[in-house]
């Protein structure tokens, strides 16, 4: 490259995290979410407990840790150039070996996918946050404590009740908007510093309660029995589906393949230690997931309802547990703490996706943060409407739109994004990954981690998962024009197709938008197909 061609773009004044503790708590807040306390228990229960934890731990080692390191690296690297979004980051990496003209295509594809994730996952995730806020309130006021009330029916009534659904959803969104508008330090960091310690405290209180439950209903059922279900490895019972779900859970719980780890990492200083911080984020997340998340819902359900209780699937948190809060000593308080814990967990995660979209508007379109934040608020209302009104309009509880969007965007797309990230980092980035990731690090990432794991093991493992998931999706009929899960419910077909349309629309707009943004800043070098801007 001709050094004379190197031009400097004006220095961007990027916000930084205020303190190290604040950064770690914000990142932990990002990762520790509904995935840990709501999704993990039912995934583990549905996939055989002890048979789930084995692929889970393997996926953590083979995919979770390497991708987390890669994402922190990408974020800090992009932050150096003033970028907080993934399209630019991947463009900057890929241009080294692929040259700018091809790099912009890959950057735009991944940018589009991440816009798909941050717009559409939050379209339903914000609703679940709303439910948790609603249930905190309804548990505290004792709304379902009457023994005559069936908690399954109560939940269905809840999601079909526009007053509940809209009040708590919009309230949660308004809190999010308020927090994000205040910026990185005063908004996101401040809320994480407040909410995360409380979340862990509530978690400990609930775990303590679990250990003092004994066998309240049946001498054969105890909380410890529930724990041993989760922790007894049953190698022979591991199915390919359990293994795939375990990999999906690792992506979801660590917030990888979503672009939001990179976004947070783009606000750190250039020689901050990202290796220790990545490992701290993973540790805090896994502690919250397997120790706290795994020791609350499953053991409580097992102690009161036995094996049947933990097979409850998605309804574990909102149907099985409320049933127990009704009869357990101090159940109203315990139940309120549980739903507030879910609310805090969800809030500090959703804020990361919210901020990702705000970054697009502030950095690419140069809008003031406040305006950007209001726009994202409106956008989330728009994309969340179908999720909110489906149950109300159809008078069913199938949540077909939600299910379809979650299947594709919340599960499948994350893995595709992870695969592209790791291939670009392992194969197309010229600057040595090790040098980049280890700058300022106390513990250095060893050479084999790059040469063996990031280059070969992780991409191959992800590819394997992707092929497996595609096969399972075909078998389970998700590729069909009318997917199998709504075959017998024709009135829900438009909701599924609406979900598909929303996905296509968001991806298309995301692609065009990202392409234009990259071109806007790197147009010269794309035209000449040579790298001109380097920092």
What minimum distance in Å lies between the beta carbon of 349 and ligand PFF? 4
H helix or E strand, kind and range, residue 442: none
H helix or E strand, kind and range, residue 150: none
**Could you give the CA distance from residue 25 to residue 349 in angstroms, rounded to a whole number?**
11
H helix or E strand, kind and range, residue 387: helix 369-394
- Spatial neighbors of 257 by CB under 8 A, at least 6 apart, are 67, 117, 251, 413, 414, 415, 416, 417, 418, 421
Burial class (CB in 10 A: 0-12, 13-18, 19+), 58: middle
Contact with ligand PFF (CB under 6 A) among 35, 50, 116, 294: 35
Q: Which stretch binds ligand PFF (CB under 6 A): 225-233, 273-281, 344-352, 368-376?
A: 344-352
Residue closer to ligand PFF (CB basis): 129 or 305: 129
Q: Work out whether 411 is an interface residue with ligand PFF (CB under 6 A).
A: no
**Could you give the CA distance from residue 264 to residue 272 in angstroms, rounded to a whole number?**
13
Residue closer to ligand PFF (CB basis): 108 or 349: 349
The label of the residue with tokens 């629309």 reads: 505
What minimum distance in Å lies between the beta carbon of 145 and ligand PFF? 29
Q: Which stretch binds ligand PFF (CB under 6 A): 304-312, 345-353, 464-472, 515-523?
A: 345-353
What minimum distance in Å lies between the beta carbon of 33 and ligand PFF? 2
What minimum distance in Å lies between the beta carbon of 533 and ligand PFF? 31
Binding residues among 240-279 for ligand PFF as defined by CB under 6 A:
252-253, 255, 260
How many residues touch ligand PFF (CB under 6 A)?
16
Contact with ligand PFF (CB under 6 A) among 23, 24, 28, 34: 34
Residue closer to ligand PFF (CB basis): 265 or 486: 265
Residue closer to ligand PFF (CB basis): 381 or 532: 381
The label of the residue with tokens 């706290």 reads: 292
The answer to whether 188 and 350 have CB atoms below 8 angstroms apart is: no
What minimum distance in Å lies between the beta carbon of 130 and ligand PFF? 13
Closest C-alpha among 384, 388, 316, 313 to residue 350: 384
What minimum distance in Å lies between the beta carbon of 75 and ligand PFF? 15
The answer to whether 52 and 246 have CB atoms below 8 angstroms apart is: yes
**Could you give the CA distance from residue 225 to residue 377 in angstroms, rounded to a whole number?**
44
Q: Work out whether 169 is an interface residue with ligand PFF (CB under 6 A).
A: no
Q: Which stretch binds ligand PFF (CB under 6 A): 34-42, 192-200, 392-400, 480-488?
A: 34-42
- Spatial neighbors of 85 by CB under 8 A, at least 6 apart, are 78, 111, 114, 259, 262, 263, 356, 359, 360, 363, 364, 514, 517
What minimum distance in Å lies between the beta carbon of 38 and ligand PFF? 8
Contact with ligand PFF (CB under 6 A) among 353, 424, 454, 506: 353
Residue closer to ligand PFF (CB basis): 33 or 483: 33
CB atoms within 10 A of CB 311: 14
The answer to whether 368 and 361 have CB atoms below 8 angstroms apart is: no
Binding residues among 65-84 for ligand PFF as defined by CB under 6 A:
none
Q: Work out whether 192 is an interface residue with ligand PFF (CB under 6 A).
A: no
Q: Work out whether 352 is an interface residue with ligand PFF (CB under 6 A).
A: yes
Tokens matching residue 434: 């090790």
Closest C-alpha among 333, 344, 320 to residue 132: 344
Binding residues among 104-163 for ligand PFF as defined by CB under 6 A:
121-122, 125
Q: Which stretch binds ligand PFF (CB under 6 A): 229-237, 346-354, 453-461, 488-496?
A: 346-354
Contact with ligand PFF (CB under 6 A) among 23, 31, 67, 415: 31
Contact with ligand PFF (CB under 6 A) among 28, 350, 405, 454: 350
- Spatial neighbors of 435 by CB under 8 A, at least 6 apart, are none
Q: Which stretch binds ligand PFF (CB under 6 A): 138-146, 236-244, 349-357, 494-502?
A: 349-357
Tokens matching residue 285: 């997340």
**Could you give the CA distance from residue 492 to residue 80 in angstroms, rounded to a whole number?**
47
Radius of gyration of the chain (CA): 23
Q: Work out whether 63 is an interface residue with ligand PFF (CB under 6 A).
A: no
What minimum distance in Å lies between the beta carbon of 521 and ligand PFF? 27
The answer to whether 298 and 229 have CB atoms below 8 angstroms apart is: yes
What minimum distance in Å lies between the beta carbon of 441 and ligand PFF? 24
Q: How far from chain centre, in Å, is Cα 459?
A: 20
Q: Which stretch binds ligand PFF (CB under 6 A): 13-21, 26-34, 171-179, 187-195?
A: 26-34
Q: Work out whether 33 is an interface residue with ligand PFF (CB under 6 A).
A: yes
Q: Which stretch binds ligand PFF (CB under 6 A): 32-40, 164-172, 321-329, 395-403?
A: 32-40
What minimum distance in Å lies between the beta carbon of 245 and ligand PFF? 14
Q: Work out whether 349 is an interface residue with ligand PFF (CB under 6 A).
A: yes
Residue closer to ligand PFF (CB basis): 260 or 391: 260
- Spatial neighbors of 529 by CB under 8 A, at least 6 apart, are 99, 100, 101
The answer to whether 265 and 274 have CB atoms below 8 angstroms apart is: yes
Question: Which ranges in 32-145 belong to alpha helices (H)?
Answer: 34, 40-46, 50-59, 65-80, 86-140
Residues that bind ligand PFF (CB under 6 A): 31, 33-36, 121-122, 125, 252-253, 255, 260, 349-350, 352-353
């Amino acid at each position: 490259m001709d050094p004379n061609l190197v031009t400097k773009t004006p220095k961007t004044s990027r916000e930084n995290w205020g303190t190290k503790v604040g950064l770690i708590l914000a990142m932990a807040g990002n990762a520790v979410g509904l995935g840990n306390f709501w999704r993990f228990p039912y995934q583990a229960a549905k996939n055989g407990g002890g048979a789930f934890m084995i692929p889970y731990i393997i996926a953590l080692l083979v995919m979770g840790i390497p991708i987390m390191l890669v994402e922190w690296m990408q974020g800090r690297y992009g932050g150096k150039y003033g970028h907080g979004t993934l399209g630019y980051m991947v463009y900057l990496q890929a241009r080294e070996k692929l040259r700018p003209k091809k790099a912009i295509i890959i950057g735009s594809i991944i940018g589009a996918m991440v816009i798909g994730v941050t717009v559409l996952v939050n379209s339903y995730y914000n609703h679940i946050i709303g439910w948790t806020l609603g249930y905190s309130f309804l548990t505290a006021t004792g709304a379902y404590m009457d023994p005559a009330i069936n908690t399954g029916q109560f939940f269905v009534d809840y999601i079909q009740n526009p007053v509940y659904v809209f009040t708590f959803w919009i309230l949660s969104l308004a809190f999010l908007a308020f927090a994000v508008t205040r910026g990185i330090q005063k908004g996101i960091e401040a809320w994480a510093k407040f909410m995360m310690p409380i979340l862990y405290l509530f978690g400990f209180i609930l775990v303590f309660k679990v250990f003092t439950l004994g066998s309240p209903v049946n001498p054969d059922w105890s909380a410890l029995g529930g724990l041993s279900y989760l922790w007894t490895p049953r190698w022979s019972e591991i199915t390919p589906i359990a293994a795939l779900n375990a990999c999906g859970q690792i992506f979801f719980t660590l917030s990888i393949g979503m672009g939001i780890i990179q976004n947070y990492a783009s606000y750190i200083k250039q020689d901050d230690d990202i290796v220790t911080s990545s490992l701290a984020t993973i540790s805090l997340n896994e502690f919250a997931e397997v120790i706290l998340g795994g020791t609350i819902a499953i053991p409580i359900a097992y102690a009161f309802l036995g094996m049947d209780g933990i097979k409850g699937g998605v309804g574990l948190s909102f149907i099985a547990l409320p049933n127990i809060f009704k009869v357990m000593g101090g159940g109203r308080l315990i139940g309120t703490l549980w739903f507030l814990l879910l609310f805090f967990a969800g809030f500090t995660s959703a804020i990361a996706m919210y901020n990702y979209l705000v970054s697009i508007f502030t950095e690419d379109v140069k809008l003031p943060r406040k305006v950007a934040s209001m726009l994202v608020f409106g956008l989330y209302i728009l994309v969340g409407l179908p999720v909110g009104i489906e149950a109300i309009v159809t008078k069913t509880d199938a949540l077909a739109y939600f299910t379809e969007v979650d299947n594709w965007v919340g599960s499948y797309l994350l893995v595709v994004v992870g695969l592209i990230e790791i291939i670009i980092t392992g194969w197309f980035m010229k600057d040595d990954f090790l040098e980049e990731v280890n700058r300022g690090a106390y513990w250095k990432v060893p050479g084999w981690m790059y040469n063996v794991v990031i280059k070969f093991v992780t991409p191959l493992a992800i590819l394997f998962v992707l092929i497996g998931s595609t096969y399972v999706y075909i078998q389970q009929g998700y590729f069909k024009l009318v997917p199998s899960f709504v075959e017998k419910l024709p009135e829900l077909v438009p909701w599924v197709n609406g979900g598909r349309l929303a996905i296509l629309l968001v991806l298309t707009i995301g692609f065009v938008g990202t392409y234009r943004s990259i071109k806007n800043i790197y147009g010269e070098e794309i035209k000449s197909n040579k790298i001109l801007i380097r920092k």
